[in-house]
């Protein structure tokens, strides 16, 4: 078997495919830190301080929907250990807070609002717990953690994502907790088989930074290699955790999956990347950051390089002490959604005539006009293929969207886009991988014909969708 043949045998499972289609979803960081103006609580905060006066999960969900996001992951418990639901296993919860006289349940309200709004609900449960006395005792803490996980995965309906953070700041003299990851994963698979487990988990990999930086070539087929992420490097005790290390690759590396990197690897896995960053400098709300909501063009750039670079995009929006998204964040989310709706609205492909090489009848290449599971697979064993599009009148094109059929793995390694100008083809964009989705950013190209050339692929390339936008 050639290397390429071996590589294309690695494909996503159904939950990963579904997840990659989620593309863009929200993180919501909310806990006692919102009231103490901190990023990390130390676990000594009194639940008395948690009192959002105007909390409204519907406001969060409608702002998220206005941005075109399809899910929400809530910090049900952050490192400080305070639970946003009335857990039966600790007193350090919302039940001890003044919110709704101790009868409130933020997790429940958010999950219900997500369901009503038709978006996914996901849970962030911090393994590192600075309040829980059992932390560092081994199995007793694992029992506690699994009990909490079980509450979250059984009481609030369907969960699309479980986000496990690797952060831990205990330091060399702190407590050491060896997490029983396998047990956590089994609990999730058993209770919510469709949920993807992120970061310290087998399904979705951390991209390696929290700034919104992306890789030029983001591969989904990567080695299962013994290494640690930067996050885990700061978590002294976790660098010793073999089970976790086997599932991770070095998050800081730029090339995780080219042929050169994979050629000598024996164990390969499908492990797609997620880009996570905040709409503000902090993960939690700070009044001093109300004027530092990221500019629209920065968010567009991150989106087009993450979702448009074979990763998913998890954008954090932190609620205020009232329990609402701040008006500046709400306005930015709507502007962003407006950009997506207009920028990726009508597909100019609909009015174009298509031809392909190797030649194929129009009905065969027409598959790229739809986003369903059908796809174009030219008989191009050398990995090269092209599709040309021609319009009756000139078009101005600013974005091209390409999608591969992931059930056939990630195959494309290099492509180019040419526009016909003065009767000759001029290259207007070049790129490496495609994967789930590639967004090629064009500089307002004015033309009557466009050509997509796949220059190199692992065996024959597939194309599931092509979008051309003015
Ligand atoms: C980090 C945490 O320490 C931050 O507080 C935040 O939750 C971020 C998403 O992950 O590791």
Please work out, in degrees rounded to the nearest 5, the angle formed at the alpha carbon of residue 74 by the alpha carbons of 112 and 278. Answer: 135
Task: Report how far ligand 1's centroid is from the alpha carbon of 371 (Å).
Answer: 34
Which residues approach ligand 1 with their CB closer than 6 A? 39, 165, 167, 231, 276, 283
How many domains would you assign to the chain? Answer: 2
Average pLDDT, the chain: 92
Whole-number Å distance between alpha carbons of 439 and 303: 9
Strand-pairing partners, residue 313, are: 24, 275
276 burial (CB, 10 Å; 0-12 / 13-18 / 19+) is buried
CB-CB contact of 279 with 329 (8 Å): yes
CA-CA distance, 196 to 202, in Å (whole number)? 8
Tell me: the pLDDT tens digits for 297-308? 999 999 999 999
284 CA: nearest ligand 1 atom: 5
CA 187 to chain centre: 22
Write the residue with the smallest CA distance to atom 3 of ligand 1.
167
Question: What would you report as the CA-atom Rg of the chain, rounded to the nearest whole angstrom?
Answer: 23
**Region 442-458 average pLDDT:** 96
Q: β-strands 465-469, 385-403: how paired?
A: antiparallel
Provide the CA 200 distance to its chain's centre, in angstroms: 14
Q: Which residue's CA is the closest to the ligand 1 atom numbered 6?
A: 283
Q: Does residue 388 register a pLDDT over 90?
A: yes
Mean pLDDT of 319-327: 98
High-pLDDT (> 70) share of the chain, %: 94
Residue 363 shares a structural domain with residue 384: yes
In this structure, are 283 and 324 located in the same domain? yes
What local confidence, expressed as pLDDT, does residue 227 receive? 37
Please give the pLDDT value at position 228. 39
Residue 236's pLDDT is 35
Work out which ligand 1 atom sits closest to the CA atom of 124: 7
User: What are the residue ranges of helices labelled H in 118-228?
Assistant: 139-155, 181-191
**226 close to 201: Cβ distance less than 8 angstroms:** no
The 10s digit of each residue's pLDDT in 401-448 is 999 999 999 999 999 999 999 999 999 999 999 999 999 999 999 999
Domain hosting 219: range is 3-343
Q: Which of 283, 285, 314, 316 to mutate to test the pocket of ligand 1 (most atoms within 8 A of CB)?
A: 283
CATH number of the domain enclosing 214: 3.20.20.80
Taking 50 as the threshold, does the pLDDT of residue 115 lie above it?
yes
Is residue 197 within 8 A of residue 180, CB to CB? The reply is no
Same domain, 376 and 319: no
Q: Which of 343, 374, 408 is the last residue of a domain?
A: 343
| Domain co-membership, 366 together with 401 | yes
Interval 269-300: pLDDT, tens: 999 999 999 999 999 999 999 999 999 999 99
pLDDT for residue 420? 97
Same domain, 313 and 357: no
pTM higher than 0.75? yes
371 shares a domain with 268: no
pLDDT tens for each residue of 330-372: 999 999 999 999 999 999 999 999 999 888 888 888 889 888 8
| Distance from residue 391's CA to the centre of ligand 1 (Å) | 49
**Atom from ligand 1 closest to the CA of residue 27:** 9
Q: What is the CATH number of the domain that holds 396?
A: 2.60.120.260
In sequence order, which ranges of 192-326 are alpha helices (DSSP H)?
230-233, 242-246, 259-262, 296-306
What is the Å distance from ligand 1's center to 77 Cα?
A: 12
Predicted confidence band at 224 (pLDDT cuts at 50, 70, 90)? confident
- Ligand 1, closest atom to CA 167? 11
Q: Do 219 and 361 share a domain, yes or no? A: no
Give the tens place of pLDDT for each residue, 133-186: 999 999 999 999 999 999 999 999 999 999 999 888 887 778 989 899 999 999
Q: Give 231's pLDDT tier (boundaries 50, 70, 90).
A: very low
Q: Are 77 and 148 in contact (CB under 8 A)?
A: yes
Domain-ending residue, one of 343, 368, 383: 343
Domain boundary among 299, 319, 343: 343
Query: Are both 51 and 132 inside the same structural domain?
Result: yes
Indicate whether 302 and 174 sit together in one domain: yes
Span from the CA of 124 to the centroid of ligand 1 (angstroms): 10
Whole-angstrom distance, CA of residue 131 vs CA of residue 188: 24
- pLDDT band at residue 249 under the 50/70/90 scheme: low
Q: Tally the residues of the chain.
A: 470
Write down the H helix ranges in 118-212: 139-155, 181-191
Check residues 76 and 382 and name the one with the higher pLDDT. 76
Q: For residues 337 and 226, state if they share a domain.
A: yes
User: For residues 450 and 467, what is the distance between their CA atoms, to the nearest angstrom?
Assistant: 12
Q: What percent of the chain has pLDDT over 90?
A: 83
- What would the pLDDT profile of 32-80 be if each residue is shown by its tens digit? 999 999 999 999 999 999 999 999 999 999 999 999 999 999 999 999 9
Examine the domain organization and report whether 226 and 332 are in the same domain.
yes
In this structure, the answer to whether residues 316 and 397 fall within a common structural domain is no
DSSP 8: T
């Amino acid at each position: 078997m050639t290397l390429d043949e071996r590589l294309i045998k690695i494909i996503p499972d159904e939950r990963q495919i579904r997840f990659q289609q989620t593309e863009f979803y929200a993180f919501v960081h909310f806990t006692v830190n919102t009231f103490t103006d901190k990023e990390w609580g130390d676990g000594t905060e009194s639940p008395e301080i948690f009192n959002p006066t105007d909390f409204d999960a519907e406001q969060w969900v409608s702002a998220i929907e206005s941005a075109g996001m399809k899910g929400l992951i809530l910090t049900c418990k952050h490192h400080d250990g305070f639970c946003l639901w009335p857990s039966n296993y600790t007193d350090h919860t919302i039940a001890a807070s003044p919110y709704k006289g101790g009868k409130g349940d933020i997790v429940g309200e958010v999950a219900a609002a997500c369901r009503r709004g038709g978006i996914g609900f996901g849970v962030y449960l911090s393994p590192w717990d600075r309040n829980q006395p059992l932390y560092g005792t081994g199995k007793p803490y694992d029992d506690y953690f699994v009990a909490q996980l079980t509450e979250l995965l059984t009481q609030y309906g369907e969960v699309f994502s479980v986000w496990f953070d690797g952060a831990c700041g205990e330091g060399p003299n702190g407590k050491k907790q060896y997490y029983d990851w396998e047990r956590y994963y089994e609990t999730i698979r058993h209770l919510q088989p469709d949920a993807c487990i992120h970061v310290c988990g087998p399904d979705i990999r951390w991209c390696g930074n929290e700034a919104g930086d992306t890789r030029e070539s983001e591969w989904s087929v990567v080695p299962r290699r013994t290494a640690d992420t930067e996050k885990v490097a700061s978590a002294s005790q976790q660098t010793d955790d073999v089970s976790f290390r086997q599932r991770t690759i070095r998050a800081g590396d730029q090339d995780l999956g080219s042929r050169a990197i994979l050629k000598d690897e024996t164990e390969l896995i499908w492990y797609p990347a997620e880009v996570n960053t905040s709409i503000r400098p902090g993960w939690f709300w700070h009044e001093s950051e109300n004027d530092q909501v990221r500019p629209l063009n920065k968010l567009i750039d991150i989106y087009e390089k993450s979702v448009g670079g074979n990763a998913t995009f998890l954008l954090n929006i932190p609620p205020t002490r009232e329990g609402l998204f701040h008006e500046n964040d709400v306005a930015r989310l709507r502007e962003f959604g407006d950009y997506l709706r207009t920028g990726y609205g009508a597909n100019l492909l609909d009015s174009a005539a298509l031809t392909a090489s190797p030649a194929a009848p129009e009905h065969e290449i027409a598959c790229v006009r739809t986003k369903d599971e059908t796809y174009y697979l030219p008989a191009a064993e050398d990995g090269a293929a092209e599709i040309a599009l021609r319009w009756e009148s000139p078009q101005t094109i600013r974005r091209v969207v390409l999608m591969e059929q992931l059930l056939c793995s990630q195959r494309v390694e290099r492509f180019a886009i040419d526009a016909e100008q003065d009767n000759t083809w001029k290259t207007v964009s070049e790129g490496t991988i495609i994967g789930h989705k590639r967004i090629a950013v064009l500089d307002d190209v004015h033309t009557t014909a466009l050509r997509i050339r796949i220059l190199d692929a692992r065996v024959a390339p597939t194309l599931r969708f092509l979008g051309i936008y003015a």
